[in-house]
Structure 1
Amino acid sequence: MRAYGLTQAPASRSHVRSVSTIRSVDNSIDEATFYGQVYVAQEPLVIRDYLRPSVSTWFHRNEHGAIILGSKLTENPTTPEMPYEYVRTGIEDDVARANFMSWLQGDKTLNSAPDSPGKENQTRFSQFTAPIGLLSKAMEFNAQQKDSKMRYKRLYIAQMPINELPPELQLDLEAPKLLRCPATPCDVYNTSIWLGLEPTYTPWHRDPNPNFFMQLVGQKTLRLLPPGPGGNVFMQVQNAIGSASNSRIRGTEMMEGPERAALHDAVWGVDAPKDVQEATLGPHDCLFIPKGWWHSVKSVREDGHLNASVNWWFRFRQPRGDSARK
């Protein structure tokens, strides 16, 4: 049974063609097996039901039954401002955002249109910093909207470094035990939390280090390819749109405009590579992404609920006598 009942029902999938499912194991896998049979083999693996219990104190259900951030996050005076992203995809987003801003100011009247609507089908990506309370208030607003079209969506705290959080919160998200193999020291290079209002989405990219990804709230689907085939997909998109983006930076060019659309279609559309691999993670589930493997991440639901994840970028140091595994 999953702790604190944060599993949410899946929504309909945006893609229809079946793809290969990444192999999964239960949480009984030990550190030595993970290192020797997974990390060294450089193959992705899903570990089911592996969430640290202490993280459960970050979330709870409100009176509307929606999952929200707990006081441990929102009322800590030393919590720094968060790096937010917001993606505007159409006129419906303008209405929801205008209504949310009015609601924040005490006006409970919902508008039928924003004061300055943009082009209906134009996608715009913006980044800013703000207190975590902004996300909490947005969830409070969304919980009162029975019509999902009226909810404020795509507000995303993306890649907030855990080492910038207050010490008591960092303790809740220590590196997973699987990364602490006694015989093989491990260096954690960076680690981040991801908190957003669904739908959330990260385009096709690769990481410079292996990635241990853990789902906390809601569900996310990830699609992966090895370095060579994944790089081919990225370059084909770049050539098609005449771009030269950095595949390791979550920049504006991949979050809006023709590159966002082209990357999404190339990975998630009906013509996605036949050898692409996929995993859907719910609360407590983890995914090991080998170094250099290309991947894209999107929430399963799209109706403004909270989605939360955390990841660690790491690398095991090579033990003595293990030179053959380079």
Structure 2
Amino acid sequence: MLRSGRCSISYYKVACQLYSTISRFSHVEPLRNGSVDTFRQQAFAPAKPALLPRDHFRDLPALKKWFEPSPNMPTACQLNASYLSSYGETLLPLELTRENLSNGADSVSSFEQLHAPLNFFIEWTRQHQRSASASTPSTAPAGRLYLAQAQVSDLPSPLRADLPTPALVTLASKGDVYDTNVWIGLAPTYTPLHRDPNPNLFVQLAGRKTVRLFTPDIGADVFRSVQTRIGAAGGGGGSASMRGAEMMQGAERRVLEAEVWGSGEWEEGRAGAGLEAHLEAGDGLFIPKGWWHSIKGVGEGVTGSAAFRSIGGFGNGAHAPQYAGGLPSELPPGAKHVCFATHRLHNRMALDTKRKQVSKRATARVAELLTLGAHNAATRLRDCASTAAMSQPNSKNAEQSEAASNDEPRT
């Protein structure tokens, strides 16, 4: 039975939150309730992964305003284009993955990160879903686009208001600065095994995702083992905290995915060493600092997620080494807000001068890279790209600096 006004199935929830579908992975334990004290005592303080009670985040405005049920796939979601298109000029980070249609060993032939307007992503998603629901699909653009790690702080203010920081983060902390990132794409989506330098409250906004986790020591063993194996064959070199091309294509993707999602070598003598969680819209998962995890978007339609992280680790006294110049460690917690905000403002001012050229270059690049199946689909996407390129975007989004992109965690 469908939940009222939601894009998910209720019976799936009951089964998947109680136990894993694969015996070698233990289930992530749910908290007995969603109070701040329970979260602090059972999850945050012991640094233990935990599921929030089912539907704990169902009242986040983004769940209802950004997504809507798909008329062609009753158990799936689609983007709420009528609402989101009002902010269509906003530049967002996208990932373009193209599949290898040959019988070669690699399933992904190319991976590229770029920026493009939100309207372009909306139109691409609409065309792809329309083609998927047709009896003879032929109009879908080639390749797959994934809106990956968009910073909520860089979105227009109405969209920022749709994703307020949950009380669990603000009240369980000691007042550090918080950052939120968003991921939206058509299932299947994939994030390789990695670790974050900060605690992560991962909230599902739409669709379904499966998360697999490892302790810091086991995850490090798995990652090192993969790097050694592919390094010997001339591959490797990927970063444990960087969603780069090495992780997303070629030998590293293939071997990492097999280790985590197939019958990997790590499990020998380590029964139950991995954890698994299944999330639907409104669910939340706490991922402690340093825990390794890999995530897959499953099912049909659009899947969306948000990660709420603190710069200092939910107020645990740590500081933010990721940003150019760093933050002075001797600053008291209250002063870190001002220091970080000033530092970020300078970064934005420097990046903002690139907005116009980035918008034109991004829309042209996406149109060039995507091979469109039908003439009418191609025309609509080109019109969308052309309109966005000629306009002056109101968003302060721009290309991230190389230094920032090298240090930001990828989830």
TM-score by length of 2: 0.64
Instruction: State the partner residue of 1:96.
Output: none
Instruction: State the partner residue of 2:192.
Output: 203
Instruction: State the partner residue of 1:312.
Output: 308
How many residue pairs match? The answer is: 286
Q: CA deviation at 1:122?
A: 5.0
Instruction: State the partner residue of 1:181.
Output: 171
Could you list the structure 1 runs, at least 4 aligned residues long, displaced by more than 6 angstroms after superposition.
none
Instruction: State the partner residue of 1:261.
Output: 254
Instruction: State the partner residue of 1:97.
Output: none
Counterparts of 1:213-224 in structure 2, within 5 Å, are 213-224=202-213
Residues of 1 paired with 2:55 and 2:180: CA distance?
20
Residues of 2 paired with 1:297 and 1:175: CA distance?
22
Instruction: State the partner residue of 1:35.
Output: 40
Conserved in 1, the CA contact under 8 Å of 2:94 and 2:146? yes
Counterparts of 1:139-150 in structure 2, within 5 Å, are 139-145=125-131, 146=134
Counterparts of 1:1-326 in structure 2, within 5 Å, are 2=3, 4-7=5-8, 18-25=24-31, 28-47=33-52, 48-51=54-57, 52-55=59-62, 56-61=64-69, 63-65=71-73, 67-70=77-80, 71-76=82-87, 80-91=90-101, 121=107, 123-145=109-131, 146=134, 151=140, 154-181=144-171, 184-242=173-231, 243-271=236-264, 273=267, 274=271, 275-301=273-299, 303=300, 305-314=301-310, 315-318=313-316
Q: Deviation string for 1:255-284 (max 9, x for gaps)?
A: 100000011011111235331100010111
Residues of 2 paired with 1:269 and 1:8: CA distance?
26
Structure with a larger share of its residues in strand: 1
Conserved in 1, the CA contact under 8 Å of 2:152 and 2:182? yes
Conserved in 2, the CA contact under 8 Å of 1:209 and 1:292? yes
Alpha-carbon spacing, 1:255–1:133, altered in 2? closer, same or farther (3 Å):
same
Q: Which amino acid aligns with 2:288?
A: P
**What SS is found at the alignment partner of 2:308?**
strand
Residues of 1 paired with 2:198 and 2:214: CA distance?
15
**What SS is found at the alignment partner of 2:197?**
coil
Instruction: State the partner residue of 2:365.
Output: none
Q: CA deviation at 1:162?
A: 0.2
Alpha-carbon spacing, 1:292–1:318, altered in 2? closer, same or farther (3 Å):
closer
Conserved in 1, the CA contact under 8 Å of 2:230 and 2:251? yes
Conserved in 2, the CA contact under 8 Å of 1:45 and 1:287? yes
Instruction: State the partner residue of 1:115.
Output: none
Q: CA deviation at 1:253?
A: 0.5
Conserved in 1, the CA contact under 8 Å of 2:43 and 2:50? yes
Q: CA deviation at 1:18?
A: 4.2
Q: Deviation string for 1:96-153 (max 9, x for gaps)?
A: xxxxxxxxxxxxxxxxxxxxxx999552111221111222212322333225975556
TM-score by length of 1: 0.79
Q: Deviation string for 1:174-212 (max 9, x for gaps)?
A: 111111227x42424421110111110000000000001
Give the CA RMSD over aligned residues: 2.7
Instruction: State the partner residue of 2:366.
Output: none
Q: CA deviation at 1:21?
A: 0.6
Q: CA deviation at 1:69?
A: 1.9
> Percent identical across equivalent pairs?
35
Structure with a larger share of its residues in helix: 2
Q: Which amino acid aligns with 1:237?
A: V
Residues of 1 paired with 2:108 and 2:118: CA distance?
28
Residues of 1 paired with 2:48 and 2:157: CA distance?
33
Conserved in 2, the CA contact under 8 Å of 1:17 and 1:270? no
Q: Which amino acid aligns with 2:156?
A: P
Q: Which amino acid aligns with 2:84?
A: L
Q: CA deviation at 1:16?
A: 5.5
Instruction: State the partner residue of 1:98.
Output: none
**255-264 vs 147-156, greater mean Cα deviation:** 147-156
Conserved in 2, the CA contact under 8 Å of 1:68 and 1:136? no
Q: CA deviation at 1:292?
A: 0.4
Alpha-carbon spacing, 1:3–1:63, altered in 2? closer, same or farther (3 Å):
closer
Conserved in 2, the CA contact under 8 Å of 1:179 and 1:186? no
Alpha-carbon spacing, 1:147–1:212, altered in 2? closer, same or farther (3 Å):
farther
Alpha-carbon spacing, 1:62–1:222, altered in 2? closer, same or farther (3 Å):
closer
